[in-house]
Structure 1
């Protein structure tokens, strides 16, 4: 059902006609995020130029009960930015100013369309940087990171987005503008900043963020180690942490992920090896040297077959280029794939990877693994071919892997969020009372359910149907069955 012309005119008045996209072809560019298996074309796409226009657009949505979905760079992998067919997408791509870099108090104030890497580039002349390091940091934006509470390769030591965001300017569902948190990070009363951060766009839209900056480490040491089995690599991770060493990052890749990454960027990985670890330490030079010697000894003790230590900034960059290219590179060995995201205790890494392999064999599908081993945050990539009719099997396997993580004492998501993809799995992790409490909090911020509807919390319709406009079954079109 198309929005009335009066509503369209209201949006054009709140912004301007050129910033309201109505053409089907233009709107189709916003039909999905990085989870391309789910697609819905929005009624309109709004392109506000500043926070005031974001608030004005949301006020029109509130007045006319139009559902809206905030969108950043569209790099999310859980369907969190999936549009609503009879709603609007509010793109924050034009809000991309770095408003302030304060080297004395070590913080920066930015708009939501700024990328992680741009924050670090602006802080670098002051000997500072922004620690959260998602693999897509060159393109993912801070607004989306706030929505998903993104992590990344260096979250083992430095934490997630929530550990680095001090204050946020937020547009609520009625169009009002509030500030959550403080510029120092200290506040009295309920932590509404913490409630909002990671809420996946279901409580409002962030329009300005104050982030914490850290001193650039004095020393950084990086190694790439090959192992004869995933189990041996997993044991290394447990022993490193058990020794009291807190690396900046510990990443693991399996055979398929290594093959894809090496073919794509030629990072110097060993093709065919069962598992590889990237271990990075940073901090004071003496501390790094001592910890690095221990890490090397642990790797060798567990049968490391190759140990490559980055001897320069260029070699370190090459190692990370392979890891960060892995998701996209898998497209070279499979036409289609689902990227899953779950967490298990570190001590169960070998067990869960074995179970995932068995599940893939049973489904007749390959699974590549590349993940943040230091904190047990898995990223299994389920490879399939839609042309061969494997989509449903792959989708089922992907969901089963997420639920396996819960079974083994972990969680459904480490950083990609629940979104559309895992909403129906939420009861596997949370009881009825927990879900009801989440719904009440959501209603307190958004009583009419306009902010990113259909995400995170399970609903009967989404758990039984693929989202989007209704598509008749072929038997219905042939007149054999009727829709009730």
Structure 2
């Protein structure tokens, strides 16, 4: 469709103040947090409510124009990367906390509300929203739903999918519907579960009913230093094997600590190879007993120092450092890739050793920051664009993600596949798996206009053989059908 005609139709549907066409303004939407991929869209729309989101989607669907939903743009997998002739539908104006129900421990919010603002809105009731990505001050709940984000406390409390009752969504043809419901369990197919984590490929969420939790009665946090990342990794395995489920277990290596201390002076030891952050919460007697056991296990595995945060302010400083880690790495490297993979806890030490070997082979540095409790690694590949290291760094980053699969893990724990890792999906899933995912996607979006080119490998992205459709063996056997 002609770009000018598309812009005019969107202005007619939403109003001139809701459509951005200025080339300078459009550049602000050319990428998300993965800045290595950039595409300027044809236009950006800024709807104010569900009706306007649906109107924009209907314009796109009617004209076969691809569209991409966007929240705060903090994603790290290229999931909000625009399409050159397509439309970005920004949800930043949908930022109301619609209602709070403290009795039933739930709240209804719009997708542009930040993750942390949900907890702030319900704090007076002694409640909070448990998922806490490191970017929770700026990332939005709509993006959390799209990526099924977790955060530091996902070990004990789970991911976004475990804290959502119901969502209102606009499907790729402009239909508005509801998935899930007020009851904790719904009969029939779990379409809510399918939608959460679908990375914006099945529709756009416009209203979310979140589950709230009561604030824990007691919280204790420690930071333990170790002479090697392997020893710190083995300590994590020992803690969980002892039957203790901490609220959070995080780890940073020496490079990450160097960056954090330069940025926010959180109080970590600069002369240690690795720091393990362990937080326990719950009933006071239980926390006290388990905390003593965690300290014992840290000493048993060779810790050189244990610092217990004595006050809420001290705990806040510990977490300020951990959550600043990604941004802080800019202090020690002009450019970096943030990777996101998962390995079994029992293979943490092996994974870290192998990542170090891959980095040495590539002649690059890797800073490790991760949710150690559930094996969710966030290696940061440091490089210099000016020295021509981009391609080498990108290859190393992909190799680390695929290493996680080879060790029995996953390509992503919470950042998503997006554009960044779509070509690696066949490393984790076979043809039948990918074909089934494609059938589900096509059931929602038969015309491939909803965030195309993301999540699943395509010829355009991955160099697969182009040309006419060749039936999958399961399709030829009559076991599946093409929609």
Question: Which TM class, normalised by the smaller chain length?
Answer: over 0.9
In the superposition, the TM-score normalised over structure 2's length comes to: 0.95
The alignment status of 1:42 with 2:41, answered yes or no, reads yes
In the superposition, the TM-score normalised over structure 1's length comes to: 0.95
The offset of 1:184, in angstroms, is 2.2
Is the CA contact 1:21–1:44 (under 8 Å) kept in the aligned structure 2?
yes
Q: CA RMSD in A?
A: 0.9
Q: Distance in 1 between matches of 2:422 and 2:402?
A: 11
Q: Distance in 1 between matches of 2:283 and 2:176?
A: 42
- 1:195-247: CA deviations, max 9, x gaps? 11100000000000000000000000000110011111111101110110000
The offset of 1:6, in angstroms, is 2.7
- 1:101-124: CA deviations, max 9, x gaps? 100000000000001110000111
Task: Give the 3 Å change call, closer, same or farther, for CA 243–88 of structure 1 in structure 2.
Answer: same
Query: Which residue of the partner structure matches residue 277 of structure 1?
Result: 276
- 1:347-379: CA deviations, max 9, x gaps? 111111111101101101000000000000000
Q: Distance in 1 between matches of 2:421 and 2:449?
A: 20
Query: Which residue of the partner structure matches residue 341 of structure 1?
Result: 340
The count of corresponding residues between Structure 1 and Structure 2 is: 464
Query: Which residue of the partner structure matches residue 428 of structure 2?
Result: 429
Is the CA contact 1:33–1:81 (under 8 Å) kept in the aligned structure 2?
yes
Query: Which residue of the partner structure matches residue 182 of structure 1?
Result: 181
Is the CA contact 2:3–2:42 (under 8 Å) kept in the aligned structure 1?
no
Q: Distance in 2 between matches of 1:5 and 1:158?
A: 48
Is the CA contact 1:173–1:445 (under 8 Å) kept in the aligned structure 2?
yes
The 5 A counterparts of 1:107-122 are: 107-122=106-121
- 1:433-453: CA deviations, max 9, x gaps? 110110010000001000000
The offset of 1:132, in angstroms, is 0.2
Query: Which residue of the partner structure matches residue 415 of structure 2?
Result: 416
Q: Distance in 2 between matches of 1:179 and 1:73?
A: 23
- 1:92-142: CA deviations, max 9, x gaps? 000000001100000000000001110000111001000001001000000
Q: Distance in 2 between matches of 1:231 and 1:139?
A: 33
Structure 2: state its 5+ residue gaps: 465-483
The offset of 1:380, in angstroms, is 0.3
Query: Which residue of the partner structure matches residue 352 of structure 1?
Result: 351
Is the CA contact 2:3–2:85 (under 8 Å) kept in the aligned structure 1?
no
The 5 A counterparts of 1:82-161 are: 82-161=81-160
The offset of 1:463, in angstroms, is 1.2
Query: Which residue of the partner structure matches residue 191 of structure 2?
Result: 192
The alignment status of 1:263 with 2:267, answered yes or no, reads no
Query: Which residue of the partner structure matches residue 67 of structure 2?
Result: 68
- 1:254-292: CA deviations, max 9, x gaps? 010000001100000011311100000001101100110
Query: Which residue of the partner structure matches residue 468 of structure 1?
Result: none
- 1:137-169: CA deviations, max 9, x gaps? 000000000000001000000000000001000
Query: Which residue of the partner structure matches residue 204 of structure 1?
Result: 203
Query: Which residue of the partner structure matches residue 292 of structure 2?
Result: 293
Q: Distance in 2 between matches of 1:142 and 1:272?
A: 38
Query: Which residue of the partner structure matches residue 443 of structure 1?
Result: 442
Is the CA contact 1:128–1:216 (under 8 Å) kept in the aligned structure 2?
yes
- Please give the secondary structure, in 2, of the residue aligned with 1:397: helix
Is the CA contact 1:365–1:384 (under 8 Å) kept in the aligned structure 2?
yes
Query: Which residue of the partner structure matches residue 369 of structure 1?
Result: 368
The offset of 1:5, in angstroms, is 2.9
Query: Which residue of the partner structure matches residue 53 of structure 1?
Result: 52
Query: Which residue of the partner structure matches residue 391 of structure 1?
Result: 390
Q: Distance in 2 between matches of 1:296 and 1:394?
A: 38
Q: Distance in 2 between matches of 1:419 and 1:189?
A: 29
The 5 A counterparts of 1:215-294 are: 215-294=214-293
The offset of 1:301, in angstroms, is 1.0
Q: Distance in 2 between matches of 1:14 and 1:287?
A: 58
Q: Distance in 2 between matches of 1:384 and 1:307?
A: 33
Query: Which residue of the partner structure matches residue 476 of structure 2?
Result: none
Q: Distance in 2 between matches of 1:361 and 1:4?
A: 48
Task: Give the 3 Å change call, closer, same or farther, for CA 24–289 of structure 1 in structure 2.
Answer: same
- 1:383-437: CA deviations, max 9, x gaps? 0000100000000000000000000000000000000000000000000011011
Structure 1 window deviating more from structure 2 (149-158 vs 182-191): it is 182-191
Structure 1: state its 5+ residue gaps: 466-484
Is the CA contact 2:41–2:82 (under 8 Å) kept in the aligned structure 1?
yes
Is the CA contact 1:167–1:185 (under 8 Å) kept in the aligned structure 2?
no
Task: Give the 3 Å change call, closer, same or farther, for CA 284–34 of structure 1 in structure 2.
Answer: same
Is the CA contact 1:3–1:86 (under 8 Å) kept in the aligned structure 2?
no
- Please give the secondary structure, in 1, of the residue aligned with 2:420: coil
Structure 1 window deviating more from structure 2 (439-448 vs 5-14): it is 5-14
Query: Which residue of the partner structure matches residue 481 of structure 2?
Result: none
Is the CA contact 1:77–1:416 (under 8 Å) kept in the aligned structure 2?
yes
Is the CA contact 1:149–1:161 (under 8 Å) kept in the aligned structure 2?
yes
The offset of 1:460, in angstroms, is 1.2
Q: Distance in 2 between matches of 1:391 and 1:5?
A: 36
Q: Distance in 2 between matches of 1:199 and 1:295?
A: 37
Q: Distance in 1 between matches of 2:62 and 2:176?
A: 16
